[in-house]
Amino acid sequence: MSFKLYKYGKTNFHTSFDIFFNKKKTVKEELCKSDTNLNDILIELNSLIGLDNVKKLVKEIIAFVEIQEKRKTENLLTEPIVLHMVFRGNPGTGKTTVARLLGKIFKEIGILERGHLIEVDRADLVGEYIGHTAVKVKEQIRKALGGILFIDEAYSLARGGEKDFGKEAIDTLVKAMEDYKDNFILILAGYKDEMDYFLKTNPGLKSRFPIYIDFKDYSIEELILIAKKIASDRQYQFSNKAILKIEYILKKKTYDNGNARYVRNIIERAIRRQAVRLKNKHKVTKYDLLTILEEDIVEDDLY
């Protein structure tokens, strides 16, 4: 595979690469000339709580692409790059967020032409009669060309047994991975145990995915940091007692805690409860508008 940089120059690449490795740059040096800004995407990735394995992978891919470009200019052989991936982890651990950011990053460094994300599940791929499945899968692949096709709960494709059309969907995907190997990236996502079993159902499937990323459940401390970041991004803050209330709720929910998704639901509900509380208050200060109190925090009832 030869590397082509879409709308991306060497100056911009090196600037972004240095920023990602925390080197100091002047404001002028940090400006990207392209119509999209890799620096901002990398900053967004680095701001995510945890996910050190993902951040390490991105550094490796950026370095690999840069070195292959240098080898190409010296008329040396270049290595092909295959980036089909398997994401394994529970809900709320950042799989979709990471896939979206990877698409943008890969566009900026020239691996993908468009870098968009097409997110699908079994219903989008498996048909109801003979011949229908292949048509549905090819349509989703067509939409994903130049970007990423992200299949959530991918193991559901193998749940119906031999007579199920899910097997046809898998076979069509495998063929597309070869036919369009330079023009899209396939990411399969789902629970770890289910994904491991799924990959064993098709002997030729596992070897086609060179990258496996495990998304671990967040610790209580990480979930508190996520809660503070979500609130800060929306220009809210927590009182000390509100933080303790969130921590208490999270410690109670030790199984299937929903991770960041559960925390987000708690905060969204707290914002609504704060609004009701302040609506009945005679005088509302800026501090009141900013601050979420202990009484605004309740357990989310969606889980």
Query: 168-213 pLDDT, tens per residue?
Result: 898 899 899 988 988 999 999 999 999 998 888 777 788 899 999 9
Instruction: Round to whole Å and give the CA distance between 223 and 218.
Output: 6
Residues 6 or more apart whose CB falls under 8 angstroms from that of 138 comprise 172, 176
- The count of C-alpha atoms lying within 13 angstroms of the C-alpha of 156, restricted to the half-sphere facing its C-beta, is 13
Domains of the chain: 10-215 (3.40.50.300), 220-296 (1.10.8.60)
Alpha carbon 168 to chain centroid distance?
A: 27
Instruction: Round to whole Å and give the CA distance between 167 and 161.
Output: 8
pLDDT the model gives residue 13: 40
User: Is residue 114 within 8 Å of residue 7, measured between CB atoms?
Assistant: no
pLDDT the model gives residue 301: 57
**How is residue 239 written in tokens?**
């009182």
**How is residue 6 written in tokens?**
């879409």
pLDDT the model gives residue 248: 92
CA dihedral 213, 218, 221, 227 (to 10 degrees): 110
pLDDT the model gives residue 120: 95
Instruction: Round to whole Å and give the CA distance between 95 and 85.
Output: 11
- Tell which residue, 214, 210, 181, has the closest CA to residue 64: 210
> Tokens 């459940």, residue?
217
pLDDT the model gives residue 166: 84
- What parts of the chain have a pLDDT lower than 70? 1-36, 160-163, 254-258, 300-303
- With b meaning 16 or more CB within 10 Å and e meaning fewer, what string describes 176-208? bbeebbeebbbbbbbebebbeebbeebeebeeb
pLDDT the model gives residue 302: 46
Whole-model pTM over 0.95:
no
> Tokens 């030729």, residue?
204
Amino acid at 154: A
